[in-house]
Chains A and B, each alone.
Chain A
Amino acid sequence: AQKVTQAQTEISVVEKEDVTLDCVYETRDTTYYLFWYKQPPSGELVFLIRRNSFDEQNEISGRYSWNFQKSTSSFNFTITASQVVDSAVYFCALSEPFYQKVTFGIGTKLQVIP
């Protein structure tokens, strides 16, 4: 069965610090997809990134970067030089095409303090 673990429930950092959000997943499938979503206080769920299981190339997008390692079943998310606007709940998610549904982690609440 699919499982997504986000061990950090809440993180507080001071503005301009770097912060890494951890995500560990479990799957029996060889083909799967991983996602990160951001949910600001307004409640809307914003898509950040999607990776498939065949592409372990890490990605950088502005201040965001993602580290996907199949060997450890991890898909970690780093924000560089954090800003107050980064304060939100971040969800890691896993999709297995066979089950046609997405399983979400419990979320990590990030608070960036000015």
Chain B
Amino acid sequence: SAVISQKPSRDICQRGTSLTIQCQVDSQVTMMFWYRQQPGQSLTLIATANQGSEATYESGFVIDKFPISRPNLTFSTLTVSNMSPEDSSIYLCSVEGADSGVIGTDTQYFGPGTRLTVL
């Protein structure tokens, strides 16, 4: 399985500011995913990020609020823009393993998450 790291591990931010979360993988991967986990809730997919193309956002999430970069096959960033207390969540990046090589069939492995608190 891939080794995934995220920075920062946690942060406390003021309303109206932005935070960029970094996700680094120890191997090249085609697809990277960003999830949000609000307090006491399940994981919700924000977007899928492919290298060299625009991220694909899920319903309810927009690029202006959650811009994503994917400059290469091992790295991605998610920015939470113009934050409000409702953005307080754990943000997780994940990658799909390459057991079969067929997208959508392999296990997703997760980073340790970024705990964001917005005051």
Contact A47 B107 (CB under 8 A): yes
Contact B42 A105 (CB under 8 A): yes
Is residue B90 within 8 Å, beta carbon to beta carbon, of the partner chain?
A: yes
Chain A interface extent, by class:
20 to 34
Is residue A100 within 8 Å, beta carbon to beta carbon, of the partner chain?
A: yes
Tell me the chain A residues, 64-114 only, with Cβ under 8 Å from chain B.
91, 95-102, 104-107
Q: How far, in angstroms, from A98 to B106 measured CA to CA in the complex?
A: 13
Q: Which residues of B contact A95 (CB under 8 A)?
A: 104-105, 108
* Interchain nearest-CB distance for A102 vs B (Å): 6
Q: Which residues of B contact A105 (CB under 8 A)?
A: 42
Q: How far, in angstroms, from A105 to B85 measured CA to CA in the complex?
A: 25
Q: Contact partner of B103 among A44, A45, A47, A100, CB < 8 A?
A: A100
Contact A107 B42 (CB under 8 A): yes
Is residue A62 within 8 Å, beta carbon to beta carbon, of the partner chain?
A: no
Is residue B110 within 8 Å, beta carbon to beta carbon, of the partner chain?
A: yes
Q: Which residues of B contact A102 (CB under 8 A)?
A: 33, 45, 108
Q: How far, in angstroms, from A99 to B104 measured CA to CA in the complex?
A: 7
Is residue B12 within 8 Å, beta carbon to beta carbon, of the partner chain?
A: no
B103 to chain A: closest residue by CB: A100
Q: Which residues of A contact B108 (CB under 8 A)?
A: 35, 47, 95, 102
Given contact pairs A47-B110, A91-B43, A102-B33, enumerate 18 new A-B contacts (beta carbons under 8 Å).
Answer: A43-B90, A43-B115, A45-B43, A45-B92, A45-B113, A47-B1, A47-B109, A50-B106, A50-B107, A95-B108, A97-B104, A99-B104, A101-B33, A101-B48, A101-B58, A104-B43, A105-B42, A107-B42
The contact sample of 20 A-B pairs, CB cut-off 8 A, is A35-B107, A43-B113, A44-B113, A45-B92, A47-B1, A47-B109, A47-B110, A50-B107, A52-B105, A95-B104, A96-B104, A100-B31, A100-B104, A101-B45, A101-B48, A101-B58, A102-B45, A102-B108, A106-B41, A107-B42
